[in-house]
């Protein structure tokens, strides 16, 4: 896959559908929480680390979905979008420019044409805030060290993380002799300062999945879309399967059978 490829596949529509439903639910939850927490910034914060072009090949991407949902909810908001591909950055900027000119952008939107790793100062903030940090890179893996760092910023303590990732890609990289990389998915998630994780049942042979990291123990399960808590048996098993190769999983399973 090319560096700035948006990565359209038969999985794209499902991913965007789930993202929209999740976001709808999340906006509703944050809207309910904010008035009871006056010490927090009273906007919904959306940070998209790998924003993409906005609209492409008849699809709408995550920043556009966010924009549609937040405007429909009529909630104050701030969005920070990173897109390192110049063409995609321009396409995304054009979308928001047109929307702004027709009076359809009521919140603050900052778009940056640089890798998210260079934008730490934009993801730090003084006041506690609520919202979502989303990462959905096409081919490579998210930069988990970076995610770990920003998850530790005090103001991001109530921000939830959403990660779209292929379990197969993580396993391939771990086994590749060409890269110095040995951590499994469970270990990578451990870098983030989030107490609870929900994992979605993986899709197709690349094991595409979504992970939600949160400090809120009552985060809804989002069961209709096959999300499971990783501290419960179904979710724990899914995360293990996503973290281990088939032989590692079978070996671990055999050991527990004969322990
Ligand atoms: C799968 S695509 C877009 C996904 C987007 N969530 C959507 O729904 O359209 C991933 C995008 O991330 C961008 N990208 C990848 N790594 C990045 C990085 N380190 N910083 C900023 N953008 C990045 C790529 O250029 C690509 O456009």
Q: Is the CB of 55 under 6 A from ligand 1?
A: no
Integer-rounded Cα radius of gyration of the chain = 18
**Domain-embedded: residue 92:** yes
- Say if ligand 1 is within 6 A of residue 123 CB: no
162 occurs within a structural domain: yes
- What's the gap in Å between 154 CA and the centre of ligand 1? 26
Q: Tell me, using a 6 A CB cutoff, whether residue 20 lines ligand 1.
A: no
pLDDT in tens, 129-152: 999 999 999 878 999 999 999 999
| Residue 164 belongs to a domain | yes
Of 110, 85, 114, nearest in space to 96 by CA: 110
pLDDT at residue 1 above 70?
no
Q: Calculate how far, in angstroms, residue 6's C-alpha sits from the geometric centre of ligand 1.
A: 7
User: If you measure from the C-alpha of residue 137 to the centroid of ligand 1, how many angstroms do you get, rounded to a whole number?
Assistant: 5
Q: What is the mean pLDDT of the chain?
A: 92
Is 35 part of a structural domain of the chain? yes
6 assigned to some structural domain: no
Report the atom number in ligand 1 closest to the C-alpha of 50.
12
What domain range includes position 237? 12-258
Ligand 1 binding pocket includes 52 (Cβ within 6 Å): yes
**pTM for this model (two decimals):** 0.94
Average pLDDT estimate for 83-108? 98
In a domain, 45, yes or no: yes
CB-ligand 1 contact for 208 (6 Å cutoff): no
What's the gap in Å between 140 CA and the centre of ligand 1? 10
Whether 82 is in a domain gets the answer yes
The tens digit of pLDDT for each residue in 204-256 reads 889 999 999 999 999 998 888 999 999 999 999 999 999 998 888 888 877 66
Answer yes or no: is the C-beta of 142 below 6 A from any ligand 1 atom: no
Residue 3 is assigned to a structural domain of this protein? no
Give the count of domains, the chain.
Answer: 1
The CATH number of residue 121's host domain is: 3.40.50.150
Cβ–ligand 1 distance for 107 under 6 Å, the answer no
CA distance 186 to 3: 26
């Amino acid at each position: 896959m090319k560096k700035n490829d948006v990565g359209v596949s038969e999985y794209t529509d499902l991913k965007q559908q789930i993202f929209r439903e999740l976001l709808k639910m999340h906006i509703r939850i944050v809207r309910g929480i904010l008035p009871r927490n006056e010490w927090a910034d009273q906007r919904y914060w959306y940070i998209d680390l790998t924003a993409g072009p906005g609209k492409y090949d008849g699809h709408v991407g995550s920043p556009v979905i966010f924009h549609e949902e937040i405007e429909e909810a009529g909630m104050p908001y701030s969005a920070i979008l990173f897109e390192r591909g110049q063409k995609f950055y321009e396409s995304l900027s054009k979308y928001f420019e047109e929307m702004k000119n027709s009076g359809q952008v009521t919140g603050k939107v900052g778009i940056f044409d640089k890798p998210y790793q260079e934008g730490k100062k934009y993801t730090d903030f003084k006041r506690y805030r609520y919202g979502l940090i989303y990462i959905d890179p096409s081919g490579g893996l998210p930069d988990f060290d970076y995610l770990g760092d920003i998850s530790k910023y005090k103001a991001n303590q109530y921000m939830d993380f959403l990660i779209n990732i292929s379990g197969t890609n993580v396993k391939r990289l771990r086994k590749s002799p060409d890269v110095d990389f040995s951590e499994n998915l469970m270990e990578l998630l451990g870098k983030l300062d989030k107490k609870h994780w929900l994992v979605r049942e993986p899709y197709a042979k690349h094991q595409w999945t979504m992970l939600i990291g949160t400090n809120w123990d009552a985060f809804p399960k989002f069961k209709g879309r096959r999300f499971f808590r990783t501290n419960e048996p179904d979710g724990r098993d899914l995360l293990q399967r996503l973290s281990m190769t088939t032989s590692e999983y079978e070996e671990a399973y055999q050991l527990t059978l004969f322990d």
